[in-house]
Amino acid sequence: MVWGNFDNKVIMILLKLLKNKYFLTTIGIIVWLLFFDKNDVFSQAELITKLNKLKSDRDYYATAIKNNRAEIEELKTNKKSLEKFAREKYHMKRDNEDVYVIIKK
C-alpha cells in the first residue's frame, strides 16, 4: 500500500506542475532556446568545432611562416645554402656539370 500511495502523490505533484503557468512558460522557453532559436545548442556546437579547427589552422600557419622566414633569412645570408637550395629544388647546374635526377620507387 505504501507504493500505491507514493505513486498517487507523484502523479498529483506532476499534475500540479503541468497546471502551473510559470512552469509551463519556463519549459517552453527552454525548449525554444534548445531547438528552435537561430543560436540553438546544435548550431553552437558546430560553431565551437569550426572555431577549434580554425585555431589549429592558425597555429599551423604561424609555425610555417616562422620556418619560412628563417629559411629565407638563411638563404639571404649564406651563399652555400642558397646554392644547395637551388640545386635541390630547381635542379640548377653549372655550365660544366651534368645533373642526373634519380627517383626512388
Read off the pLDDT of residues 24-40 as tens digits, 9 standing for 90 and up. 899 999 988 888 888 88
Measured CA angle at 54 (ends 53, 56), to 5 deg: 65
pTM comes to 0.55
Residues 6+ apart with CB under 8 A from 91: 99, 101
Domain that holds residue 29: 1-37
DSSP, collapsed to helix, strand or coil, labels residue 57 as: helix
Say whether both 33 and 54 belong to one domain: no
Beta strands in the chain (DSSP E): none
Per-residue pLDDT tens for 37-53?
A: 888 888 899 999 999 99
Say whether both 17 and 66 belong to one domain: no
Whether the per-residue pLDDT at 91 is higher than 80: the answer is no
- Total tally of structural domains belonging to the chain: 2
Taking phi first (over 0 means left), then psi (-120 to 50 degrees means alpha), and beta for anything else, what does residue 93 get?
Answer: beta
